[in-house]
């Protein structure tokens, strides 16, 4: 158990809809990272937050947004969903702002867009 909690574990929705994925980081960790894992793109870094502020941005679409709240949990919002957004979305956490490469991953939220 990594200590990172993600909800929901599974989500099925329709094209055009909006969903919110939630992540609680490991106790004491201040950074939260979001990754998308799909069969064709592999594991893609989306965005990082550190202590409530956006720290680094990766291949995140404009239809996607994220935030980190004062209690350090984070939410990833996906809107105007398309079939290609079907993927496993991972949250990871670490203590520091600078990514040392040592991240603790949650079990992921599997999104299916029909």
Partner 1 sequence: GNSVTQMEGPVTLSEEAFLTINCTYTATGYPSLFWYVQYPGEGLQLLLKATKADDKGSNKGFEATYRKETTSFHLEKGSVQVSDSAVYFCALILTGGGNKLTFGTGTQLKVEL
For the bound state, the minimum distance from the C-beta of residue 58 to partner 1, rounded and expressed in Å, comes to 6
The CA–CA distances, whole Å, from 108 to 5, 16, 35, 56, 69 equal 8, 22, 9, 20, 19
Q: How many CB atoms lie within 10 A of CB 12?
A: 12
Does 4 bind partner 1 (CB under 8 A)? Our answer is yes
Does 87 bind partner 1 (CB under 8 A)? Our answer is no
Q: Tell me the window of 11-19, 40-48, 66-74, 75-83 that interacts with partner 1 (CB under 8 A).
A: 40-48
Q: How many CB atoms lie within 10 A of CB 13?
A: 16
Q: CB-wise, 45 or 61, nearer to partner 1?
A: 45
Contacts of 93 (CB under 8 A, 6+ apart): 3, 4, 23, 25, 26, 29, 31, 32, 33, 103, 104
Q: CB-wise, 20 or 45, nearer to partner 1?
A: 45
Q: CB-wise, 38 or 79, nearer to partner 1?
A: 38
The residues that touch partner 1, with contacts defined as CB under 8 A, are: 2, 4, 33, 42-43, 45, 48, 55-56, 58, 90, 92, 98-103, 105-108
């Amino acid at each position: 158990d990594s200590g990172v909690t993600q909800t929901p574990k599974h989500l099925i929705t329709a094209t055009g809809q909006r969903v919110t994925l939630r992540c609680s980081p490991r106790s004491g960790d201040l950074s939260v990272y979001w990754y998308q894992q799909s069969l064709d793109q592999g594991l893609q870094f989306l965005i990082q937050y550190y202590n409530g502020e956006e720290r680094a941005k990766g291949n995140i679409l404009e239809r996607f947004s994220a935030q980190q709240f004062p209690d350090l949990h984070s939410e990833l919002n996906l809107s105007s969903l398309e079939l290609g957004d079907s993927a496993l979305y991972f949250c990871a956490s670490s203590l520091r702002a600078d990514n040392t490469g040592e991240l603790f991953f949650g079990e992921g939220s599997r999104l299916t867009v029909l």
